[in-house]
Each structure stands twice: as structure tokens, then as C-alpha cells.
Structure 1
């Protein structure tokens, strides 16, 4: 598992890339990816292309990010979801909370 974050050139967006299993073991690394930055992004993009597994604790971590980013006003996109990850997000009704592509 590896989590990296990269700001956009204009500092308006933070891209977070998750590789491997996204589970409880990623909790601190995921929080660090968006809390330990020196700017306040307006938008967040979570790239799940390399994510092989997601569990309920990862769903909770996404909800914590949403709260951190402004709750219902947060602009967070979950992109490049494989079919298994997409199914878990769908079953959990995350389409109501995040823009998923």
C-alpha cells in the first residue's frame, strides 16, 4: 500500500493516489496526505486506479476527508475505480456523497 498526494499547479486541487489495499492500515498515511499540506485546496481528487481492495474502514476515512473538506459543500471526486471498488461504493450509497467516475 502506498498513498501519495500531489497539488495541482495552481494549488486549487489536491490529488491523492492510493495503491494496493485501502483499509485500516492506511488510516494515518491517508490522513497525512490531506492534513500535512501547506495549502487549503478547494477540490480533492482521489485516484483509485491502483487500489485493489477497499473495506469499511476506508469508507470511513473517505467520510473523514469529506468532513475535513467542508462536509456537504466539499468537492471530492473518486476516479478510476475498478469494478470491485465501484460496487462497494455503490452498495454504500457513496454516489450520494461523492462524484464517482
Structure 2
């Protein structure tokens, strides 16, 4: 399973493994909407095992941000591999998300 999630109080942790593209859009959406995310105030996306990101993945991250409260969202993308991090920065996602 390329996407796993867990909820701990107000935090939803999502781990993305392998390719992050349109083929996992339902799984990704379910990872934050099937949890108790109605009460979640923080979302942490672990991309340490993510090998590939395409434009649909960027769109899915924007939908998560909108779900989390748009400008008030507390979404962290962590442990990106260098190629993935470069895509995030070129796409100006470092201005929309906390990238660590």
C-alpha cells in the first residue's frame, strides 16, 4: 500500500511510498478524510519513501491544504528526497507548506 495514515489526537500522519501520482488519488484523499480529521489541526506528510511526484500529486497536496483550512492550514511535508524537494521548491510549495 503506497499510502498509509494514522491519527493521533489532533495530528494526522500520512506516509507516501513509491510513486505519488494520479493512480493513488483516492487512497490519498481517503488517508485524510477517513480519519478523525474533522478535529485534526495538523497534517504531517512523510515523503521519505516517495520516489516520484507529478503535477497531479501537487494538486492533491493543494486539496489537502484546502481541506485543512487553506491559509490557516498547518501542513508539514517532511523528509523529501532531493528530486522531490526540488519540485516542491520550483512549484513554490515552500510558500504554502512547511517543508522540512
TM-score, normalized by length of structure 2? 0.96
Per-residue CA deviation, residues 58-95 of structure 1 (Å, 9 max, x unaligned), is: 00000000000000000000000000000000110001
Equivalent residue for 1:35, pick from 8, 33, 37: 33
**Aligned residue number for residue 6 of structure 1:** 6
Q: Structure 1 segments of 4 or more deviating over 6 A?
A: none
Using the alignment, how far apart are the partners of 2:33 and 2:14 within structure 1? 12
Equivalent residue pairs, number:
99
Q: CA RMSD in A?
A: 0.9
TM-score, normalized by length of structure 1? 0.95
Gaps in structure 2 of 5+ consecutive residues:
none
- Superposed, 1:1-101 pairs within 5 Å as 2-8=2-8, 11-39=9-37, 40-101=39-100
